[in-house]
Structure 1
Amino acid sequence: MKRFLLLFLPALALVAAGAALWLLWVGPGPTEEPKTLIVAQGSSLARVADQLEEAGVIRGNATSFRAFARLLGSSDPVQAGEFLIPARLSADGILNLLQHGRPVQRLVTIPEGMPSVLVHERLARNPYLTGDIPVPAEGSVLPNSYSFQRGESRAAVLGRMQAAMRAELSRLWAQRRPDIAVSTPREAIILASIVEKETAKPSERRMVAGVYTNRLKAGMPLGADPTVIYPVTRGRPLGRRILRSELRADNGYNTYVRAGLPVGPIANPGRASISAVLNPETTDALYFVADGTGGHIFARTLQEHNANVARWYAIRRARGEM
């Protein structure tokens, strides 16, 4: 019996030690709440193991985690990104999450027609981005939703937005109709920014672009209110009626006082507005005015247009807006 115990007890101790080590790998983790881990691009398994130990999400230490990972885990590399580690997740589960799970996806959304001052503010207010950026050039950002990693620089995110605009503009420009009123991609962005601000109805964009195409070809002023507002607010809401002095101001943007396009875009137009300018509706219309339902009514002659304007004014008076 004594000899048996001398043989059995060490073996039992080895089994117990092995079981304890095994639980370090597959047993529940020590955390009671989910924790966030950010894995930098190019991080090694050793660096990630150190992060896990520092975060307190594994039992044991970084050395044991690395040993188990190399012995029992997948040989796939860990991914870069932000990961939400569930409470009490095992070390084995954490490795699988970092290798094959989905990082937390964060998005910043730029709506169609947002001016660059507001794009800048949206990026500046995001608490998960870092670094400073200047206000981007008007019309240089493609409206869309963009993913980013926590701790990423604002400059990097803005760079993707501007690269997307360059790529999309190049693609759409290659598909343009030969009889359009703009002669360069920049002119297309300028006119598309006006179309974007003039109508919120997708079904009207090509028609509005058709009217402006006709006016440009005829040498008529575009007469677009948003171009009058832009130099006053740089794209922010005006919050009041346009002043007579603003309608007479000759500042490079006012399309009432001079024919042709303004000197630059007045917003960041979306794909649909750029496409509308490069493939406008074929129409005889030269005028349009709001119809009271969120859309517009179009006219070929000034007489028709004046009648439409009178109806619009009557609607506004009935609403107490005039």
Structure 2
Amino acid sequence: MWRNIVSNFLTLLIVILVALGGLVAWAKRQYTEPGPLAQAMCLRVAPGASIQGVSGDLVDHGAVSSAYIFRTGAQYEEKAGKLKFGSYLIEPNSSMQQIVDQITAGGPSTCGTELVFRIGVGGNDVLLRELDPKTGDYEKVAEYNPETETPPEGFEAKAEAPDVRARVTVVDGVTSWQIVQGLKEASFLAGTIDGVPAEGTLAPDSYEVKRGADRQALVDLMKDRQSKILADAWAGRAEGLPYDSPEQALIMASIVEKETGVPSERAQVASVFINRLEKGMKLQTDPTVIYGVTEGKGVLGRGLRQSELRKATPYNTYVIDGLPPTPIANPGKAAIEAALHPDSTPYLFFVADGSGGHAFATTIEEHNRNVAKWREIEKQRQENASGN
């Protein structure tokens, strides 16, 4: 009898062990295989949050099938007590293991609220925006001009939340002086800047920064990035260009940047100025004259006077031959590429066409007709504006 009892007990034990093994294997698959989340979500891990609270949030949002397995897996990997606060973009079908890795690795938040200081040609603005995890697009929450407006009610409280990311965005075509002035106004940055960098040497881009980041360090990063962009573009430049150095190409890129805001036109505009250089013609471009008047310190805010167009200055391309001595703004990567890979065209002239772009011409007669059309468009617009 005892032998039967022992035999039955061993059999039962084996069955239990096999069942436990199967259960463990199933739980492991649940932990490591793709999860049930159908659409991306933003998971906020608050300071001091517990693995139990986070697992509950994930279950509520349909991101994990079992809070218990999620917690057990995190504990087994010795990560349950290593949560890093922040806002995390959880991609569809992320496994429990992937989510645990994400929320314990730390680093910058990948969703939630973002504070953006935007340095533009016509001025600066500050905005709060939130990433919609379902579309991947940012939605504006609030915005104001720091030079002329006070923050909207509740703006500062939201902006100062610990998991809000900070970003500085520099628009293509701003001057170095405008960038320095803008960075001084960005209250979430710290430190001073060692003077205004040489024109054209800062890369317009969007820079994620930490609160209290050093302003000079950010300027240095902009310099390094622009230097690399120019070096790479110069190394792969088209043959036969009328530039003696990368610096001259940067000057041309800045002119192209200021002459057109239409991406598809950049290489065409570059071809016009290159054609004029090769024929010994003056560039005759208003943005260079404007830079000579403003010295890059803001926007002119009016039309050029005839006296300014006639005055001999290093930047008056109606008077001087060839390129001005320096860039007239900080060109973006696309403008640099256009200056070093221009279209092959016969064009020597262009003028606004009323659509936001330009009409290009090969002969002065054709150009004059385009100018007449543009003046008629301007006249009509003025009449419509005065009639309203």
* TM-score normalised over the length of structure 1: 0.70
Q: Is the 8 A contact 1:207 1:283 kept in 2?
A: yes
Distance across 2 between alignment mates of 1:100 and 1:243: 57
Counterpart amino acid of 1:100?
G
Alignment of 1:302-313 (within 5 A): 302-313=364-375
Deviation of residue 177 (structure 1)? 0.7
Partner of 2:224: 163
- In 2, distance between residues paired with 1:249 and 1:36? 62
Range with greater deviation from structure 2 (234-243 or 96-105)? 96-105
Partner of 1:146, secondary structure, is: strand
Deviation at 1:132, TM superposition (A): 1.1
Percent sequence identity is 45
Secondary structure at the aligned position of 1:212 is classed as: helix
Q: Which residue of 1 aligns with 2:188?
A: 128
Residues 271 and 345 in structure 2, CA contact (< 8 A), matched pair in contact too: yes
CA separation of 1:36/1:130 partners in 2, compared to 1, >3 Å: closer, same or farther?
A: farther
Task: Say if 1:210 and 1:101 are closer, same or farther in 2 by CA, change over 3 A.
Answer: closer
Q: Does 1:119 align with 2:125?
A: no
Moved more, 118-127 or 157-166: 118-127
Aligned residue number for residue 240 of structure 1: 302
Give 1:200's match in structure 2, choosing from 237, 242, 261. Answer: 261
- One-letter amino acid matched to 1:243: R
Specify whether residues 282 and 106 from structure 1 end up closer, same or farther in structure 2 by C-alpha distance, changes over 3 A only. Answer: same
Matched, 1:139 2:200: yes
Measure, in 1, the Cα distance between the counterparts of 2:230 and 2:339: 11
Q: 2:317 aligns with which of 251, 255, 258?
A: 255
Note the 1:273-288 alignment, pairs <5 A.
273-288=335-350
| CA deviation map 1:102-132 (0-9, x unaligned) | 4453210111111112111221111111111
What do residues 64-120 of structure 1 show as CA deviations (whole Å, max 9, x unaligned)?
A: xxxxxxxx95599999xxx559xxxxxxxxxx9574364453210111111112111
Match of 1:212 in 2: 273
Note closer, same or farther for the CA distance 1:301–1:166 as it changes in structure 2 (3 Å cut).
same
**2:356 aligned partner:** 294
Tell me, in whole angstroms, the C-alpha distance in 2 between the residues paired with 1:36 and 1:190: 49
- Cα shift readout 1:189-212 (whole Å, capped 9, x = no counterpart): 101000000000001000000000
Give, in whole Å, the separation in 1 of the partners of 2:83 and 2:179.
33
* Alpha-carbon shift at residue 35 of structure 1 (Å): 7.8
Structure 2 Cα separation of the partners of residues 136 and 100 of structure 1? 34
RMSD of equivalent CA atoms: 3.1
Change (3 A) 1:115 1:102: closer
After TM superposition, give the deviation of residue 265 of structure 1 in Å: 0.5
Partner-residue secondary structure (3-state), 1:200:
coil
Residue 115 of structure 1 contacts residue 234 of structure 1 at CA under 8 Å; is this kept in 2? no
Q: Matches of 2:230 and 2:174 in 1, distance apart?
A: 17
Secondary structure of 1:117's match? helix
Report the residue type matching 2:260 in the other structure: T
Matched pairs, number: 248
CA pair 165-244 structure 1, distance change in 2 beyond 3 A: same
CA distance in 2, matches of 1:76, 1:310: 73
Distance 1:121 1:36 in 2: 35
Q: Are the equivalent residues in 2 in contact too, given 1:192–1:273 (CA < 8 A)?
A: yes
Runs ≥4 in structure 1, deviation > 6 angstroms? 34-37, 75-79
Residue 173 of structure 1 pairs with residue 243 of structure 2: no
Q: CA deviation at 1:307?
A: 1.1
Decide whether the 8 Å contact of 1:76 with 1:99 is kept in 2.
Answer: no
Alpha-carbon distance in 1 for matches of 2:78, 2:182? 41
- 1:180 touches 1:277 (CA, 8 Å); kept in 2? no
The structure-2 alpha-carbon separation of the partners of 1:101 and 1:172, relative to structure 1 and needing over 3 Å to count, comes to closer
Greater RCO structure (CA 8 Å; 6+ sep): 1
Structure 1 residue 291: Cα displacement: 0.4
Secondary structure of the 1:207 match is helix
Q: Deviations over 1:117-154 (max 9, x none)?
A: 21112211111111111222110111110111111110
Report which of the two has the higher share of helix.
Answer: 1
The letter for the 1-side match of 2:177 is V
Q: Does 1:100 align with 2:106?
A: yes
After superposition, the Cα gap between the structure-2 partners of 1:267 and 1:36, relative to the gap in structure 1 and judged at 3 Å, is farther
Q: Name the amino acid aligned to 1:274.
A: I
Structure 1: which 5+ runs fail to align?
1-33, 38-71, 86-95
Give me the TM-score of the superposition, normalised by structure 2.
Answer: 0.59
